[in-house]
Structure 1
Amino acid sequence: MTDRIAHVRLSSVVLPLADPISDAKVLTGRQRPMTEVVFLFTEIVSAAGHEGIGFSYSKRAGGPGQFAHAREIAPGLIGEDPADIGRIWTKLTWAGASVGRSGLAVQAIAAIDVALWDLKAKRAGLPLAKLLGAYRDSVRTYNTSGGFLHTPVDEVIENARSSLAAGIGGVKLKVGQPDWRQDIARVTAVREALDPDVPLMVDANQQWDRATAMRMGRLFEPFGLVWIEEPLDAYDAEGHANLARALDTPIATGEMLSSVAEHVRLIDAGAADIVQPDAPRIGGITQFLKLAAYAEHRQLEIAPHFAMEIHLHLAAAYPIEPWVEHFDWLAPLFNERLETRGGRMYVSERPGLGITLTEQARAWTVGTAEFGRRP
């Protein structure tokens, strides 16, 4: 029986971070330390009483813009069949056609798109991974939040041990210090402090030039890294491809791209051994599934960026064994927790994404907009 979207609520939520976060972009003066993350939440209710929740996010800037764009296009949702997710995505894209099909425009749509998929899975009584067709009930996971450059190396080691004790499988370290010797020293200290079988990754956050990236890549070869992430500018497909051909260590990149088309260019150039798409950044789950199909066709691994509450389900439904990034930053926003054990993150049996907003998230809300009426 055909259902209809009856009510839409948009919320702009500002999540404060306990400590200012610094990576290589801060050390090069390109960005300031990050003190908060701004989320765009969409809550959708259908005439039959089915509900869905989705989110997008912005770091440092863009949050108010995402909220403003979503507020402009959201009225077009009322009266639509929530099952027609692909058609709705196209409708919303055309509603904002003058601002393009990437970046902020599709990130605003992403929060809506994710909510529609959450609603669809809940209506089916299935976790989203099961609705999509899961290949596994758990995914390899690694921690990033304990390895930022502002963190002293002794604390990085302690954070790594705590993550491993909590059932997380791998550890990612930020690199890109002005003095390259500090990068080598930090990675050496962590590698020597942990079991040699612990998967270790590094992330330069786009801050090396081509020559530096090649030199650093060769210096890192003896560490047996799972990957080197974003050694170059996110849009330097040729440079990344040169590294991928020259180094034994896999190259991972893609998190900063904001459309499927940009990822396809990266893949076609041979620029990534491991693709790191971010569903909220490229337009939601509908777009992520298109990219995942292409990445599978090219026999590439994926390691989705951030937003593990969404990406766990998408990674579980990807044929080639993936990774999911564990971040505890979002914990205050959701009542539920994701289970990690034995180096893996497990899909819960809760329908949909399996998340509900906390009262604290409601308290951090700085703007709302509502359309239609609740049934």
Structure 2
Amino acid sequence: MNHPDSLLTGQLARDRIEHIRISSVFLPLAAPISDAKVLTGRQRPMTEIAILFVEISTADGHRGLGFSYSKRAGGPGQFAHAKEIAPALIGEDPNNIARLWDKLAWAGASVGRSGLAAQAIGAFDVALWDMKAKRANLSLAKLLGAQRDSVRCYNTSGGFLHTPLDQLLVNTDISRAKGIGGIKLKVGQPDRALDVKRVETVRKHLGDDFPLMVDANQQWDRPTAQRMCRTFEQFNLVWIEEPLDCHDAEGHAALAAQFDTPIATGEMLTSVSEHWEFIRQRGADYLMPDGPRVGGVTPFLRIAALADHAGLMLAPHFAMELHVHLAAAYSREPWVEHFEWLEPLFNEKLDTRDGRMIVPTRPGLGLSLSERVAGWTAQATEITN
């Protein structure tokens, strides 16, 4: 006679992925966005964000929604890669998420397991985790073993370099009124004196103790980074972000060892191994993995485990709709970046209160696509059994 638990396991194992919808969506921004990479001539202002959505359905009627993204370039490439590898999931058990990540990686192995290839996988991986949490009737945070019901949050969208200084002060007041607990300013422009003036003015406006961060977006060389980190020590910053090239683990480690102000980096890294190099060399006090960029929840959890073992603090980059769940499960008190840019894509919005972002209690990510997404969809495809 079969044990009831064995029967249940067999029933779950019989569920199979039978339908996948992939869509490439271009979300327009309200105004062109400029950071230091624009002012140094390396990039053009950003006017839209390319979103890769993946919707997965199973034979038993379970559904999962996942997404990845790209800025300025890469959206069509992510869609093309996702379209090629998606058939590998048809007929598979959606509960075997780690194995399916590997299967997707091998399906596109000739173009690597990082960068655009990993970002395409990320949308599938997030969808599978969303489905798994929904099936358990738990939020993703609870499924992962949440440490907290809210996470410290800081605003970035109001502090870009295209924003005049007087408006910058207005934006900080708006963020604080919304219950956001920190402000990040973009720096790294060619005239370093302007960076110092903006940080000094905002620090005076906020007071000595309100959490304030700066982000140079990789635009300093090593001598400049040393000088600027030394200058910024006086402003009691939570961190200085990406003072050097995103792959310069040795240089970041030297700054982290030399200065009291913590060093933050990691958002541009696209694999577990790239993050491990920074963890190994202690090239960050705050590690900033980006779930969609590293390939979804599965590799993010591996990075978080390594970071926790090394005693690092965590501050996931962008995509707060996903990262609020992942940060809630980290053992050390993290930060989540508040960007309202993706809000038009979803029917639900995240709440902020008393300096913290409230973790949604709805099953899964707690997200559903808004009607406006259809109007921004450039191409879509469906894969079935």
In which range does the TM-score fall when normalised by the shorter chain?
over 0.9
Which of the residues 64, 78, 83 maps onto 1:52? 64
1:90 and 1:186 map into 2 onto residues whose CA distance is 46
The corresponding residue for 1:197 is 209
The corresponding residue for 1:248 is 260
Q: How far does residue 195 in structure 1 lie from its aligned partner after superposition?
A: 3.2
1:166 aligns with 2:182: no
Amino acid corresponding to residue 370 of structure 1 in structure 2: E
The corresponding residue for 2:199 is 187
The corresponding residue for 1:75 is 87
Check whether the contact 2:209–2:236 (CA below 8 A) recurs between aligned residues: no
The corresponding residue for 1:331 is 343
Amino acid corresponding to residue 124 of structure 2 in structure 1: I
Matches within 5 A, 1:1-375: 1=11, 2=13, 3-372=15-384
Q: How far does residue 83 in structure 1 lie from its aligned partner after superposition?
A: 0.3
For residue 340 of structure 2, give the secondary structure of its aligned residue in structure 1: coil
Q: TM-score, normalised by structure 2?
A: 0.96
Q: How far does residue 196 in structure 1 lie from its aligned partner after superposition?
A: 2.5
Amino acid corresponding to residue 250 of structure 1 in structure 2: P
Spell out, residue by residue over 1:117-174, the C-alpha distance to the aligned partner (whole angstroms, 9 max, x if none).
0000000000000000000000000000000000001111111110011010000000
2:223 and 2:209 map into 1 onto residues whose CA distance is 30
Q: How far does residue 176 in structure 1 lie from its aligned partner after superposition?
A: 0.8
1:21 and 1:99 map into 2 onto residues whose CA distance is 31
Spell out, residue by residue over 1:292-324, the C-alpha distance to the aligned partner (whole angstroms, 9 max, x if none).
000000010010000000000000000010000
Aligned length: 373
For residue 146 of structure 1, give the secondary structure of its aligned residue in structure 2: helix
Amino acid corresponding to residue 297 of structure 2 in structure 1: I
CA RMSD of aligned residues (A): 0.7
Amino acid corresponding to residue 253 of structure 2 in structure 1: A
For residue 337 of structure 2, give the secondary structure of its aligned residue in structure 1: strand
Amino acid corresponding to residue 85 of structure 1 in structure 2: I
Check whether the contact 2:208–2:236 (CA below 8 A) recurs between aligned residues: no
For residue 143 of structure 2, give the secondary structure of its aligned residue in structure 1: helix
Check whether the contact 2:118–2:293 (CA below 8 A) recurs between aligned residues: yes
Q: How far does residue 189 in structure 1 lie from its aligned partner after superposition?
A: 0.8
The corresponding residue for 2:8 is none
For residue 50 of structure 2, give the secondary structure of its aligned residue in structure 1: strand
Q: How far does residue 289 in structure 1 lie from its aligned partner after superposition?
A: 0.4
For residue 366 of structure 1, give the secondary structure of its aligned residue in structure 2: strand
Amino acid corresponding to residue 53 of structure 1 in structure 2: L
Amino acid corresponding to residue 322 of structure 2 in structure 1: I
Amino acid corresponding to residue 11 of structure 1 in structure 2: S
1:205 and 1:174 map into 2 onto residues whose CA distance is 8
Q: How far does residue 198 in structure 1 lie from its aligned partner after superposition?
A: 1.2
**Structure 1 residue runs without a partner (length 5+):** none
1:262 and 1:344 map into 2 onto residues whose CA distance is 30
